[in-house]
Amino acid sequence: MSSFLSPSGVSVEVFPYEDFQGIDASRDEAALDTGKKQHMLQIKDGYADWRGTMVRDPGAVQRGDGNKIIKHVAFFGRDLAVWAVKDGGGVTLTSDRAETFGAGHELTEVFPTNSIVSSTVFNSKVIFATRGQNMRQYNGFVWEEIIPKTDNKPAYIIPVQRRLATAGQQGRRTIVDISRVDEENVFTGDEDVNASQVTKASDINIGNIIGTADEIRGLGLFESNRLAVFTNDQTLIYVLHPDYTQWTIDDKANINVGTISHNTISRAGNDLLFCARDGVHSLRRSETNGVTIYSLPLSSKIDTIYRSLVASVSDTELINAYFDQDNGQYHIFFPQTDLLTKRLTMTASPIQGGESKWSTGEFLNASCGRHLGGTTLIGTPGGVWNRLQAEDETPITPDMEILTPILWQGAINDIKTSYSFILQATGTGILHVEAFDEDDRTLSSFQFDIDASARDDRFFDVPLSKQYERKFEHRYRGVKFKFTTSGDGLLKIIGFAVTVRK
């Protein structure tokens, strides 16, 4: 806050709001006015970056057929995508090459309509699985059915130490069945009981280790040689090796939280992110001693928002997530129906010890995604799309919406007389601002045309700001603002301020 004499001779105080910190649901909207490091009530289809700037989410361009409901996406290679499509009679598996080459690149209605699909890459093939069905694999030229000699129809699959780990088989709720080295169709029941090779298939039964009636809910790869076995209430870590006689449980891991969906388990650098009943967690190794493996809760500030989103989904295994390494964002999708999805995004800070920031979104009603080598795929009710970068200009760009908490600008019981509203922004687009008092009564609205010529991003740590000012003469105890953007390409809100008559 500072004082100055305006050009009209009016003595005013300036109340700046900057260094935005994402949404915060841990406090009431009347208790969030901090000025600097300001949290918001809502950030939809945008996010607060590590600089504390509000940035509009990037747009997207369509990839392939646009009239299908996409349930799962994966990469065969950086430039070749495969996905699961919900058709009238079931789930169809297809690839980018299906439209051009046809037969062999698509499997029509191979899984039941309501299947929850998971996938992984093993032996240079993409493998799809769903509970109660034989796995299918794609080698870039043709889809094939994996038919082990024994009945292995898993819900969850993950590669680890040159083996394919599977779980979620019907009637085997506590067993992880792990394939023979480098073979995805030979499992424990397929091996000769007298076989002595250390590379043979084997399994892990966690039933007597967890000591409860719990069951396996997901698998993840931690570091390079550790298999994370998630139940509803806890997680076990196994150290694996191509030699099955060297498998051991890691007794330095004490993780008393499980997952609600296998498809939310994502690697993020050295960490493993996943969704639990109470929030988002990160599985990581202690920096203090380098030995202990523990779980760190990340979503405490938005716990009520998170729990309401989880409650809105009919089956928690429908919840999907992926990690965008280039932008440091973990995107979680909560499907309400086949056509409507809510998204929750965590933007991690690249600075050591920096705080993660949260936002929401509904762009294209995307329900799943995957990132590889700078390319991001999102699955929507209208086909598969490529998600671009924030600075890319495209006709299909979301409209960012931001809602501030009540800003008191001094004592909570004092009546303020405002003089003007000042905005700092850069990029290209139109920004519509609405103002409300503490009782949600409309005060005024105005529009800013953000000029692209003001943009200057040559200095990475110092985004150029351009100042816009509008008359804003009202009396109130508290004020809140709603920002709505339109246009395409990069748009940043760096800060705003209100001048109040002294």
pLDDT of 9: 59
Residue 102 predicted with pLDDT over 80: no
CB 377 within 8 A of CB 75: yes
pLDDT of 287: 87
Structure tokens at 426: 């850069």
Phi/psi for 209 (5° steps) reads: -90, -40
CB 157 within 8 A of CB 164: yes
Phi/psi for 358 (5° steps) reads: -115, 145
| Structural domain includes residue 394 | no
Q: Name which residue leads in pLDDT, 67 or 415.
A: 415
CB 264 within 8 A of CB 333: no
The Cα 491–Cα 69 span in angstroms is 30
pLDDT of 466: 52
Average pLDDT over every residue of 121-129: 97
pLDDT band for position 264 (cuts 50, 70, 90) = very high
Structure tokens at 363: 């762009």
CB 11 within 8 A of CB 23: no
The Cα 190–Cα 146 span in angstroms is 13
How many domains does the chain divide into?
Answer: 1
Buried b vs exposed e over 213-236: b needs ≥16 C-beta within 10 Å? Answer: ebbbbbbbbbeeebbbbbbbebbb
| Beta-carbon contacts of residue 379 (< 8 Å; ≥ 6 apart) | 70, 71, 72, 73, 83, 366, 367, 368, 369
Q: Which amino acid is at 25?
A: A
pLDDT of 442: 97
| Structural domain includes residue 66 | no
CATH of the domain at 424: 2.60.120.260
pLDDT of 25: 94
pLDDT of 7: 53
The neighbouring-strand residues paired with 111 are: 91
Of 186-195, 324-333, 459-468, the poorest mean pLDDT is in 459-468
pLDDT band for position 459 (cuts 50, 70, 90) = very low
pLDDT tens-place string over residues 308-326: 999 999 999 999 999 999 9
pLDDT of 351: 86
pLDDT of 453: 64
pLDDT of 445: 96
| Structural domain includes residue 10 | yes
| Structural domain includes residue 132 | no
| Beta-carbon contacts of residue 101 (< 8 Å; ≥ 6 apart) | none
The Cα 246–Cα 198 span in angstroms is 9
| Structural domain includes residue 15 | yes
Average pLDDT over every residue of 208-224: 95
What string of DSSP letters covers 55-119? EEPP-EEEES-SSSEEEEEEEEETTEEEEEEEETTEEEEEETTHHHH-TTSEEEEEE-TT---EE
Phi/psi for 318 (5° steps) reads: -75, -15
Average pLDDT over every residue of 244-264: 95
pLDDT of 456: 45
| Structural domain includes residue 466 | yes
pLDDT tens-place string over residues 140-162: 999 999 998 888 899 999 999 99
Q: What is the domain range of residue 32?
A: 2-58+401-501
pLDDT of 452: 64
pLDDT of 103: 78
pLDDT of 409: 95
Residue 228 predicted with pLDDT over 80: yes
Residue 463 predicted with pLDDT over 80: no
Residue 362 predicted with pLDDT over 70: yes
Residue 8 predicted with pLDDT over 80: no
| Structural domain includes residue 250 | no
The Cα 345–Cα 44 span in angstroms is 10
pLDDT band for position 273 (cuts 50, 70, 90) = very high
The Cα 24–Cα 139 span in angstroms is 45
Average pLDDT over every residue of 261-273: 96
Average pLDDT over every residue of 458-471: 58
pLDDT band for position 460 (cuts 50, 70, 90) = very low
Q: What is the mean pLDDT of the chain?
A: 92
Residue 1 predicted with pLDDT over 60: no
| Structural domain includes residue 17 | yes
Strands 106-111 and 466-471, sheet pairing: unpaired
Average pLDDT over every residue of 404-408: 98
Average pLDDT over every residue of 178-186: 95
